[in-house]
Amino acid sequence: ARGAGGAGPERGSRGGAAMDLFGDLRRMNKRQLYYQVLNFAMIVSSALMIWKGLIVVTGSESPIVVVLSGSMEPAFHRGDLLFLTNFHDDPIRAGEIVVFKVEGRDIPIVHRVIKVHEKGNGNIKFLTKGDNNEVDDRGLYKEGQNWLEKKDVVGRARGFLPYVGMVTIIMNDYPKFKYALLAVMGAYVLLKRES
């Protein structure tokens, strides 16, 4: 009978955590389970409220973005976390770093304004370029578009944290890692008991 149990430790290393998780869930009474689910829902809703609050305070639809490419090196590197504002009264000036969205592209682009064209009626058009790129961004704009306008701007870089956004890049590059991380976090919140 002991010889048959030899495979147990191997299986236990993989399946043991899952069995413990289900065992904990079975031992919880309904009231505890509802409490933990409610606790998890409160954490998620709090995060959403903080995000919406940041949108209102900063005026930007995306107040925090992650740099996904090396086109702005050495100013920003891949994985840097940028903090944005987008107050419409602030004029756009050459040298400023903006995050803009182009029609037909889902992911916003972080580049520097290199030229500003102001008309007498207050209309402003501008041209951007990545610091690490050889040419301006006209090749990235939609076909026939030579300038960006204020409506294209998602935000303007006001600060950054280096490499903090690498977690986001890893989760995008490896979706299985993202789902595993979410599952672990969800299980932790559901099974965490008050001391």
Polymer length of the chain:
195
Cis peptide preceding 74, ω within 30 of 0: yes
Point out the catalytic residue in the list 71, 117, 136, 173: 71
Please provide residue 160's backbone torsions phi and psi, each rounded to the nearest 5 degrees: -155, 160
User: What confidence score (pLDDT) does residue 4 get?
Assistant: 45
Left, alpha or beta for 79 (phi > 0: left; psi -120 to 50: alpha)? Answer: left
Point out the catalytic residue in the list 111, 117, 136, 152: 111
Residue 69 designated active-site: no
User: What confidence score (pLDDT) does residue 5 get?
Assistant: 46
Asked if 111 and 153 count as a contact pair (C-beta separation under 8 A), the reply is no
Binned at pLDDT 50, 70 and 90, residue 2 comes out as very low
Residue 152 designated active-site: no
Is the pLDDT reported for residue 7 higher than 90? no
Residues whose CB falls within 8 Å of the CB of residue 117, separated by 6 or more in sequence, listed in order: 124, 125, 126, 127, 147
Point out the catalytic residue in the list 60, 80, 137, 152: 137
Alpha helices by DSSP H, listed for 28-174, are: 30-58, 166-173
Counts of helices then strands in the chain (DSSP H, E): 4, 7
Tokens linked to 70 = 């090396």
Average pLDDT over residues 36-41: 83
User: What confidence score (pLDDT) does residue 159 get?
Assistant: 93
Residue 88 designated active-site: no
The CATH superfamily of 64-162 is Umud Fragment, subunit A (2.10.109.10)
Residue whose tokens read 């430790």: 9
Alpha carbon 188 to its chain's center? 22
Q: How far apart are CA 193 and CA 195, in angstroms?
A: 6
**Average pLDDT of the chain, as a whole number:** 83
Average pLDDT over residues 132-140: 93
Q: Give the chain's radius of gyration (CA, Å).
A: 24
User: What confidence score (pLDDT) does residue 6 get?
Assistant: 46
Instruction: Tell me which of 32-41, 97-106, 112-121, 163-172 is least confident.
Output: 32-41
Asked if 62 and 84 count as a contact pair (C-beta separation under 8 A), the reply is yes
